[in-house]
């Protein structure tokens, strides 16, 4: 299909383009921006007057819940939800059941995803067999099957010798490791930030030390091995300071944070709402403000949704007994826009954090609007007001701490490979 996107505000962080222009799409590619190509006759014209046209969003952490957790969500439902959120590429963690530790499982997931409407799915392979932290997986074979990097997800990593071997192996073959720093012994049994709020509520705490001690180990091993490390979902001010220092020393590291940690803190736990039970936990206002500033100054490289759909039965229990996680693919864009407005950040910089930069971290095409590139495009209304309700979300999991919160900014169209995979109802 040949598509003309007319009169939109085209924002492309890669090329620093910010102008009102038409975009022309043919054969799944962007063929021109501005003037129409010769003999171009659009099968459909999308009027983007008053709308923003940007690269399709790239989300670094989306749990699709298959295989093994179909009772929480299905591949089909979460792919549609991601498209509704403007996401055209996503990274899928390996903590499925069974974990993504064998090439056949990765190939099966990619095959299933390819035959469904929705974003391009890039699996992140298990770093150790069954995510048990003992024996390394066959990373070379998993890479051939389609894995873009390797991680333990939220599974504990207690053996630093295994972590060292993983980094040495990854450095030798050029693989990337995505690690969420948390010392399991310091965090054991905790469900909330270890502070005054958790003490008052009687919730067992997870100290900031659980993150910084593990992070110090990761950074030291990275210095020794030269491995390429992505630090996933940092939550503490001290962690961000350590990352700043490591980057200044030339370490090949990047990092991201999840959108709930940009807007919420331990103060929100006073309601005992189990939708606020997240991993890592919501920390202090000081930590939240440090995250917001680090996104603005570039110390944090990307924002992700950390989309984790959970069935309602697992949330309708006391806070400490609930399953952690929040559904977030459809809130990635509006929560990013909210942060940008509150911090006085230009729209291009905000879009960069959820498109071009994560595409670079993931090492995939996308996240830009270059002529000749895949037509993965998000068209949104930055002024559209709406309220987060279960009916307003496509995801099978409506477990979000932002239920009944007003939002501003909503996707109107999502194009993936030149095909309109999502169109908002009028």
pLDDT tens digits, one per residue of 190-238: 999 999 999 999 999 999 999 999 999 999 999 999 999 999 999 999 9
Query: What number of CA atoms fall less than 13 Å from residue 288's CA on the CB side?
Result: 18
On whether the CB atoms of residues 208 and 288 are closer than 8 A, the answer is: no
The structure tokens listed for 279 are: 């991993």
Count H helices, E strands: the chain? 13, 19
Radius of gyration of the chain measured on its C-alpha atoms: 21
What is the mean predicted confidence (pLDDT) over 135-148? Answer: 98
Q: Out of 68-72, 128-132, 273-277, 400-404, pick the least confident.
A: 68-72
The C-alpha atoms of residue 191 and residue 199 are separated, in whole angstroms, by 12
Least confident of 50-54, 63-67, 240-244: 63-67
- Range 185-201 burial, b when 16+ CB lie within 10 A, else e: ebbeebbbbbbebbeee
Q: If you average pLDDT over every residue of the chain, what do you get? A: 97
The mean pLDDT of 167-174, rounded to a whole number, is 97
pLDDT value at position 426? 79
Task: Say how far apart CA 48 and CA 327 lie, in whole Å.
Answer: 28
Is a pLDDT exceeding 90 seen at residue 112? yes
Q: What is the mean pLDDT of residues 174-182?
A: 97
User: How confident is the model over 4-40, as pLDDT tens digits?
Assistant: 999 999 999 999 999 999 999 999 999 999 999 999 9
pLDDT tens sequence across 268-320? 999 999 999 999 999 999 999 999 999 999 999 999 999 999 999 999 999 99
Does the pLDDT at position 88 exceed 90?
Answer: yes
Q: Which residue has the tokens 């919420």?
A: 264
Catalytic residues: 306
Alpha carbon distance 82, 32 (integer Å): 27
pLDDT tier for residue 398 given thresholds of 50, 70 and 90: confident
Q: Report how far residue 401's alpha carbon sits from residue 260's, in angstroms, rounded to the nearest whole number.
A: 8
Q: Give the pLDDT mean for 86-90.
A: 98
How far apart CA 3 and CA 28 sit, in angstroms, is: 10
Whether the per-residue pLDDT at 387 is higher than 90: the answer is: yes
Given the structure tokens 């809130």, which residue do they identify?
Answer: 331
332 contacts 326 by C-beta, under 8 angstroms: no
pTM of the model: 0.97
């Amino acid at each position: 299909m040949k598509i003309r996107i007319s009169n939109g505000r085209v924002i492309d962080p890669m090329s620093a383009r910010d102008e009102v222009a038409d975009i022309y799409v043919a054969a799944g590619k962007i063929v021109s921006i501005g003037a129409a190509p010769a003999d171009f006759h659009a099968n459909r014209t999308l009027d983007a007057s008053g709308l923003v046209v940007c690269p399709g969003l790239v989300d670094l952490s989306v749990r699709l819940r298959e295989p093994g957790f179909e009772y929480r969500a299905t591949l089909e439902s979460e792919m549609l939800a991601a498209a509704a959120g403007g996401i055209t590429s996503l990274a899928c963690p390996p903590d499925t059941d069974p974990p993504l530790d064998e090439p056949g499982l990765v190939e099966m997931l990619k095959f299933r995803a390819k035959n469904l409407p929705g974003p391009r799915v890039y699996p992140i392979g298990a770093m150790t067999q069954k995510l048990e932290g003992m024996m390394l997986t066959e990373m070379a074979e998993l890479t051939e099957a389609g894995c873009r990097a390797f991680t333990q997800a939220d599974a504990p990593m207690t053996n630093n010798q295994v972590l060292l071997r993983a980094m040495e192996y990854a450095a030798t073959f050029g693989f990337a490791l995505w690690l969420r720093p948390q010392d399991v012994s310091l965090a054991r049994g905790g469900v909330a930030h270890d502070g005054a709020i958790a003490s008052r509520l009687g919730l067992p705490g997870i100290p900031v030390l659980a993150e910084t001690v593990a992070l110090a180990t990761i950074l030291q091993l990275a210095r020794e091995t030269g491995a390429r490390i992505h630090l996933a979902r940092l939550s503490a001010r001290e962690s961000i300071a350590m990352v700043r220092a490591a980057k200044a020393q030339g370490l090949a590291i990047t990092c991201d944070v999840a959108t709930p940690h940009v807007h919420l803190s331990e103060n929100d736990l006073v309601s005992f709402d189990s939708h606020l039970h997240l991993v890592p936990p919501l920390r202090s206002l000081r930590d939240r403000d440090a995250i917001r500033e680090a996104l603005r100054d570039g110390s944090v490289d990307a924002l992700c949704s950390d989309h984790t759909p959970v069935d309602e039965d697992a949330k309708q229990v006391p806070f400490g007994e609930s399953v952690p996680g929040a559904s977030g693919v459809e809130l990635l864009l509006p929560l990013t826009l909210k942060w940008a407005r509150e911090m006085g950040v230009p729209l291009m910089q905000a879009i960069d954090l959820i498109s071009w930069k994560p595409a670079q971290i993931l090492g995939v095409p996308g996240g830009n609007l270059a002529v000749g590139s895949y037509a993965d495009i998000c068209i949104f209304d930055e002024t559209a007001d709406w309220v987060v309700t279960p009916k307003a979300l496509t995801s099978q999991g409506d477990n979000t701490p932002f239920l009944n919160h007003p939002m501003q900014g909503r996707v109107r169209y999502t194009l993936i490979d030149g095909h309109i995979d999502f169109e908002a109802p009028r």
